[in-house]
Amino acid sequence: METTMKKKGRGKATITSQKEEEGTVRKGPWTMEEDFILFNYILNHGEGLWNSVAKASGLKRTGKSCRLRWLNYLRPDVRRGNITAEEQLLIIQLHAKLGNRWSKIAKHLPGRTDNEIKNFWRTKIQRHMKVSSEHMMNHHCSGSQSSGMTTTDQGSSGKAIDMAESFSQAKTTFNVVEQSNENYWNVEDLWPVHLLNGDHHVI
């Protein structure tokens, strides 16, 4: 069954057909019904053993897919959207220290997922670095160790430190992203199930 998305559809939509063959592994965006099933299953049985979750819940998803969906979206403590200036600064500092260890960085940002931080880094920070790099190249072409910032992650850490410093002074110029916090449906929509079950052994 394909649930219509409330908002903008995103991500891959590998399988969109209404009828799916028996035993076929589903890919692509999760439907609300799938979210509901997974959410409910984990509330009753707990996290982990993702392959079992996938099979026992009846979802035609891989264990990996279930795990990812839970961690990045359904988990009740997940905070979504609106990465604050402080969080941005922390991400920059941690990345300078840890590199692309997104899960490690995420541990320092309660409620944020590695995927979200990774996406944020790639879409915002890297782009900003690239832009400022080009800007500097245009204005300081005259020799003296022009900071030819690469857009790759490697070698960006040192620059990130500089950036963090300037960033703390000029948050406003950083173009802090205020994203829409809407989703196809809110995780909160699933919470009544939690309450009905009266099952709190997870989370």
Partner DNA sequence: AAGGACAGCAACCGCAATATT
Partner DNA sequence: AAATATTGCGGTTGCTGTCCT
**Which residues of this chain interact with DNA, rule CB under 7 A?**
8-14, 26-30, 48-52, 61, 63-65, 67-69, 72-73, 80-81, 100-104, 114-116, 118-120, 122-124, 127, 153, 177, 179, 183
Q: Tell me 5's DSSP state.
A: P
Closest among 109, 35, 104, 108 to 75, alpha carbons compared: 35
Nearer to DNA, 67 or 159 (CB): 67
Q: How far is the CB of 43 from DNA (least distance, A)?
A: 17
Nearer to DNA, 16 or 145 (CB): 16
- Residue pair 41/190 in contact (Cβ under 8 Å)? The answer is no
Closest among 7, 14, 78, 65 to 35, alpha carbons compared: 65
In whole angstroms, what is the distance from residue 113 CA to residue 103 CA? 7
Nearer to DNA, 38 or 164 (CB): 38
In whole angstroms, what is the distance from residue 86 CA to residue 150 CA? 25
In whole angstroms, what is the distance from residue 120 CA to residue 127 CA? 10
Nearer to DNA, 68 or 96 (CB): 68
Residue type, 83: I
CA angle 9, 104, 61 (to 5 degrees): 40
Q: How far is the CB of 144 from DNA (least distance, A)?
A: 29
The total of other beta-carbon atoms located within 10 Å of residue 81's CB is 12
Nearer to DNA, 64 or 140 (CB): 64
